[in-house]
Amino acid sequence: MGGVGFQDPHHLGQSPTISFLEDWEAPAYICCMLPRSLLPVAALFLACLPCAFGQLPKRLEKCLPYPTLAQEIREMQPAPAQVRVHVTRVEFDPNDDIPADAQEEISAELRRRVFKPDADSAYQKDLANEIAEVPVRGALRNRGYFKVTAIAKLTVLWSEEADVGAAVAISATPGPQYRMGDIRIVSTDSGYPLVISPEVLRGLIPLQRGELFSVEKVRSGLQNLALVYGREGYVDMTPEPDTEVEEDRKTVDLVVKIDQQVPYHVGSIEFLGVNAVTREKLMESLPKPGEVFDRTKLDEFFKINRTILPPDVSREWIQLPRPSRAFAE
């Protein structure tokens, strides 16, 4: 299904630490197969594609004794300068009906964050739009104000090199509050019913009929759906939310359309530059070949092997190549 790779730094003349290879060029891979079939060459074919286009992942590029053309081109193009914007003052239009608790949440969020936009001529306007869209509208939509509109204005108070202090003036029209209506969960393909009961899936969305509608709770529910399907090997499952507003009742009905895709099983797991004892230890917390690929096992893998793995290891270091649906079908 994907690859986890270790590379022995002794081969590279580096200090004796273990590091991951993060991309498909690494010969190490976890290759997952469908219950129906798996072509052995599929993973190798996919693994070779990036090399064919002359682009290596960053960690492999660092291992080369000479820079690649892509590296040289990137180094010739300086990264865009950024500024660090600190919001030191937040003002709300007193004529707006923004609840006091929402004002406190928005103000605390803006003061806590350090924004890092590119230092171009439009950064103030762009950042103001971002603030209006995410912290402001987000806080109000989580309180049932589903159709809230908001604007923000950024004023620079001081600047010192790349650091900028700013005040934000916020104006919003919350509109009416909406409550949760019906929630339905259906398959995107009527020919393939859901493998998990819609009633069970409905219970994973932390919203009840009549509660104030909350975008955050809907988002949390979609994450729960992906987690449950991931445990069953459906790592490509995609939930598609669709809302239907009932203005008369001031309710929002939610239809979640689930594109299940297909389940995967583990084909093989290989490690590079790892001795037999370490490999056996690492294998204890990974799915075994032939088992359903349980995505949650990856989180357990990092927790259990924290003392073995590099301190900055993350799931981004793991690639999970698998055959395309053309191969699978």
| Domain's final residue, options 259, 279, 308 | 259
Total tally of structural domains belonging to the chain? 3
**Residue-wise pLDDT tens digits, 274-302:** 788 888 888 888 888 889 988 888 878 88
Find the helix or strand (DSSP H, E) in which 113 lies: none
Residues 65 and 90 in one domain: no
Domain that holds residue 311: 2-75+264-328
Q: What are the residues whose beta carbons fall under 8 Å from the beta carbon of 92, sequence distance 6 or more?
A: 98, 103, 169, 170, 171
pLDDT recorded at residue 286:
85
Residues 96, 154: one domain?
yes
This prediction's pTM = 0.69
CA dihedral 284→278→12→57, nearest 10 degrees, is: 10
CA distances from 3 to 23, 183, 265, 267, 274 (A): 8, 38, 14, 11, 14
Mean pLDDT, the chain, integer: 79
Given 244, 259, 274, the domain boundary residue is 259
Q: What is the pLDDT of residues 202-250, one digit of tens each?
A: 999 999 999 999 999 999 999 999 999 999 999 899 999 999 999 999 9
Q: For residue 101, what is the domain's CATH number?
A: 3.10.20
Among candidate residues 236, 259, 282, the one where a domain is terminated:
259
Question: What are 112-148's pLDDT values in tens digits?
Answer: 999 999 988 899 999 999 999 999 999 999 999 999 9
More confident residue, 113 or 36: 113
> How far is C-alpha 59 from the chain's CA centre?
21
The reply to whether 91 and 169 lie within a common domain is yes
